Structure 1
C-alpha cells in the first residue's frame, strides 16, 4: 500500500497542496482562477460550486464559538463583600434588642443628644422600634441575597453591601425619628434652654 492509499481523503483541505486549495477556492467562486498547472479533477464538484456557478451566494454561516471567555475570579471582591456582610450581620444582631426596647433606646439617644426629657407616651414608640428592627432585618437579608446573586454570577459586588447599608440606615433612622420628634416631652426638651 502506498502512502496515498493509507491516509483518508482530505475533506477540509488539511492535506491539500496549495494548488489544490487555489482550485477549490476558485471552484467555490471566492477567489482567482487556479494556477494553470492544476488539474481540474483535483476538486470534486459540490452543491456549493453549482450554486456559485448559478450566481447564488456561497457564503457559509460563521461558526459559533464553542467556549466562552472565562471571567476573572475577583478574590479580593469576594473577601471584601463577605467581610462587609459579616460586619452588617454583627451590627444587626446587636441593634435588634435595642430597637425592640424603644424606651431604653430613646433614653440613651436623649442622653447622648443632651436632652433632659422623658417620653410622654413610651408605649407608642414601641411599635416604631419593632418596625425599625423588622425593616433592618429585611434590609440586611435583601442586601445579602443580592450580594450572593452577584457573586455567583462573578460580577463586581463589594458596593452592594455599602449601598444596602446606607439605604437601610436612612429608612431605619426615619422610622426611629418619627416617634421621637412627634413626642411632646422630647420637643419640650429641644426647646428648653441649656
Structure 2
C-alpha cells in the first residue's frame, strides 16, 4: 500500500488509528472490523515543496538610536584625537614630566606609534560602522558592535603609548633608578 501524501516531517501528521486486517472478527463480540481506508486529502497541510518564510523581525528603535549615538561618538572621538595621537611625542613628554621624568627623547618612535594607532583606529571605526549597519538592516541587536570597536581602538592607542614610552632608553633607566631606591 502506498500513501499519496508527501513524506511527513516530524510532528506533521498524527498517527492513523490501529486497524485489524479486513474480515478478522473480534473474538469476544464477534464484530467484524471494517477494511482500512486510505486518506487521500489531508486538510491544512502545507505541501513540502513550498518553503516557509521566517517570521519577520521587529525593528527595535532603541537599538537603532543607541547604535547611531555610539557610532557618532566614535566618529567624533577619532576626528578630535587624530592630531593628538599623530603628535604623541610632546604629549608624552608633558605627561612624564608631570610624573617626575624630564628626559623623554623618543619622539620618532612616538610619532610612528601614533601613526599606527591612528590607522588602526580609523580601520576599526570603518569596520564598526559597516558591521553595525548590517546588523541594523537585518533587524538584529547592534549596539554592542560600537562598544567592541571602541575597545579595539582604545587598546590600539594604549599599545602605541606603551611602545613609545618603553622605547625611550632614558625612561627605562629612570624606572630602574626608582626601583633601586
In the superposition, the TM-score normalised over structure 2's length comes to: 0.67
Higher helix share: 1
RMSD, aligned CA:
2.9
Q: Does 1:99 align with 2:108?
A: no
- 1:85 and 1:161 in contact (8 A); partners too: yes
- In the TM superposition, what are the counterparts of 1:15-54 in structure 2 within 5 Å? 29-30=38-39
Q: Which runs of 5+ in 2 are unaligned?
A: 1-36
Cα-to-partner distance string for 1:116-151 (whole Å, 9 max, x where unaligned): 223233223211111111111111111111111111
Q: Does 1:171 align with 2:180?
A: no
Distance 1:64 1:115, change over 3 A: farther
Q: Does 1:117 align with 2:102?
A: yes
Distance 1:68 1:121 in 2: 59
In structure 2, which of residues 110, 113, 120 is the aligned counterpart of residue 128 of structure 1?
Answer: 113
Q: Which one has the largest radius of gyration?
A: 1
In structure 2, which of residues 70, 75, 78 is the aligned counterpart of residue 89 of structure 1?
Answer: 75
Q: Which runs of 5+ in 1 are unaligned?
A: 1-27, 31-47, 50-58
Q: Does 1:153 align with 2:138?
A: yes
SS at match of 1:84: helix
- 2:89 and 2:106 in contact (8 A); partners too: no
Distance 1:62 1:124 in 2: 66
In the superposition, the TM-score normalised over structure 1's length comes to: 0.63
Q: How far apart are residue 95 of structure 1 and its match? A: 1.2
Distance 1:118 1:145 in 2: 43
Distance 1:60 1:97 in 2: 63
Q: Does 1:74 align with 2:52?
A: no
Q: How far apart are residue 65 of structure 1 and its match? A: 5.7
- In the TM superposition, what are the counterparts of 1:58-69 in structure 2 within 5 Å? 61-62=47-48, 64=50, 68-69=54-55
